[in-house]
């Protein structure tokens, strides 16, 4: 039976279409991600030869210089309680937000003549919208190819369901229109081809999964899904449209969609979420220590903490040295102001080297935005500040210790002096401390692998017309915004 549903928060706008396969990442599927530190009933022991790490962090002795994990035969620390009945509503929202933040589509591999490329490019996060699920005609509709003079196919039929040109273009049309007017024609042509191919693949896969997910859903479960759809729409109307249904429906119409299509899209997401939760999640075994160590080694640089320093800064502005009443200096006045600013900065540095208090001089002389705080900028890492302050950051990281004062740093409109008030060295990641992240990463990757395998099986047995989907892709490209097209 399907787990209970509860409310998902406001859904991103329709223009941010959700890629079902990104939406359904393992950590969004109701497994026990946020309950990793709770202790419940012990699960079954790990099979012989697999040292399970479920339930708790694998403690590292700290004696090995590279934090190697404990030997495989070390006793387990505990077993993780499984919560496969996690309520689904929050999952959909989390997936929607994740897919909406991704946004634009990356490039794409060439298609095989009669099938799209392998399922690994499912990770392209361009989003997957809803298709019209009407019975297909006995033959796909052929239309003239305006660009090439041949024929293209206006619909793609997947197991008797149709995907239309508008299904592919509707969620991305505004983005394509903007790019068609701002990108060089050849770059836009490449982008358009990749975007259309990605969208077509994702919609086709969405259709295949939805068909499979709908086979065994009961009437009571479908009613639960419908109630969840109603609740999600109500929350969106309240959050984004001040509770006014008419404004919500007008926004949908402005995006060339309707309330019924929006309801269908949400219903499909919930149905697919349920199916993948029930069919994929139970197949994911807890990682062994060796498997976690492999993930750890592969992500060591990513997990390491870089060196960081707290920066104090004094800024002497060139404009502050202009004579009273001068707002637009001539060359001579600008040169005189720059020379005066340099003398002022040199004098302040001499006082600092002699032992003057940096914070007090910053409050008195600096024109920096943090002057009132004694020039204290807090923790700074390389690349964390805008370009104007990059010379100051480089000088900050060149200082040997917190007792040193930088040289006077010259930029076009000012002079800087910096000091490192605190230095925190780079830290290698600790295997035990980062194990929750490693477990999540392992399960995410394993979930995606199993979804890819499932999609490949579906594709192998699917009935898809036309066999050469490039005929449909060309029809979508012909209907897309063209370079320099205006609304």
pLDDT tens-digit map of 172-217? 988 999 999 999 999 999 999 999 999 998 899 889 999 999 988 8
> Cα separation of 424 and 443, whole Å?
33
> Cα separation of 266 and 12, whole Å?
12
Q: Residues 466, 472: contact at Cβ < 8 Å?
A: yes
Helices (H), strands (E): how many in the chain? 15, 9
Say yes or no: domain 20-301+433-479 is CATH 1.20.1440.230. no
Give me the residue spans of the domains in the chain: 20-301+433-479, 306-424
Q: How far is CA 240 from the centre of its chain?
A: 22
Measured CA angle at 27 (ends 33, 8), to 5 deg:
95
Sequence-ordered list of residues with C-beta below 8 angstroms from that of 9, at least 6 positions apart, any chain: 90, 93, 235, 239
Which residues sit opposite 317 in a β-bridge?
414
Q: What angle do helix axes 219-240 and 89-102 make, rounded to 10 degrees?
A: 50
pLDDT value, residue 28 = 37
> Cα separation of 181 and 229, whole Å?
37
pLDDT value, residue 141 = 53
Share of the chain above pLDDT 90, in %: 49
Mean pLDDT of the region 271-296:
92
**Least confident stretch, 155-159, 255-259, 387-391:** 255-259
Q: Give 306-424's CATH code, choosing from 3.40.50.1980, 3.40.50.720, 3.10.50.40, 2.40.50.100.
A: 3.10.50.40
pTM: 0.51
Measured CA angle at 170 (ends 164, 174), to 5 deg:
150
């Amino acid at each position: 039976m399907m787990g209970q549903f509860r409310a998902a928060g406001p859904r991103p706008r329709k223009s941010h279409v959700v890629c079902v396969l990104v939406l359904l990442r393992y950590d969004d599927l109701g497994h026990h991600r946020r309950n990793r530190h709770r202790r419940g009933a012990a699960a079954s022991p790990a099979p012989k030869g697999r040292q399970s790490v479920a339930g708790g962090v694998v403690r590292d002795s700290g004696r090995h210089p590279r934090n190697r994990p404990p030997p495989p035969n070390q006793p387990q620390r505990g077993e993780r309680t499984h919560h496969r009945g996690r309520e689904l509503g929050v999952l959909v929202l989390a997936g929607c937000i994740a897919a909406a933040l991704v946004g634009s589509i990356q490039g794409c591999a060439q298609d095989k003549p009669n099938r799209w490329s392998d399922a690994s490019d499912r990770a392209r996060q361009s989003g997957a919208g809803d298709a019209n699920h009407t019975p297909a005609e006995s033959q796909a509709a052929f239309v003239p190819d305006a660009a090439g003079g041949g024929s293209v196919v206006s619909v793609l039929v997947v197991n008797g369901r149709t995907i239309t040109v508008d299904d592919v273009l509707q969620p991305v049309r505004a983005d394509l229109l903007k790019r068609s007017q701002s990108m060089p024609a050849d770059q836009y042509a490449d982008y358009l081809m990749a975007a259309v191919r990605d969208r077509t693949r994702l919609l086709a896969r969405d259709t295949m999964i939805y068909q499979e997910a709908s086979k065994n859903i009961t009437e009571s479960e479908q009613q639960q899904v419908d109630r969840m759809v109603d609740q999600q729409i109500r929350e969106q109307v309240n959050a984004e449209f001040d509770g006014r249904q008419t404004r919500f429906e007008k926004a949908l119409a402005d995006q060339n969609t309707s309330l019924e299509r929006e309801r269908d899209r949400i219903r499909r997401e919930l149905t697919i979420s349920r199916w993948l939760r029930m069919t994929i999640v139970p197949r994911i075994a807890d990682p062994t220590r060796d498997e976690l160590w492999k993930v750890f080694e592969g992500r060591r640089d990513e997990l390491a903490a870089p060196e960081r320093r707290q920066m104090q800064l004094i800024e002497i502005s060139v404009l502050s040295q202009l004579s009273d009443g001068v707002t637009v200096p001539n060359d001579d006045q600008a040169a005189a102001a720059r020379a005066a600013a340099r003398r002022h900065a040199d004098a302040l540095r001499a006082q600092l080297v002699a032992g003057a208090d940096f914070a007090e001089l910053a409050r008195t002389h600096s024109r920096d935005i943090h002057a009132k705080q004694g020039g204290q900028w807090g923790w700074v890492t390389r690349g964390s500040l805008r370009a104007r302050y990059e010379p100051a950051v480089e000088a900050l990281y060149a200082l040997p210790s917190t007792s040193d004062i930088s040289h006077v740093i010259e930029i076009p409109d000012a002079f800087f002096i910096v000091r490192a008030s605190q230095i925190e060295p780079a830290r290698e990641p600790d295997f035990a401390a980062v194990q929750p992240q490693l477990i999540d990463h392992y399960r995410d990757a394993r979930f995606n692998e199993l979804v890819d395998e499932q999609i490949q099986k579906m594709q192998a047995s699917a009935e898809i017309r036309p066999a050469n989907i490039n005929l449909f892709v060309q029809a979508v490209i012909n209907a897309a915004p063209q370079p320099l097209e205006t609304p």
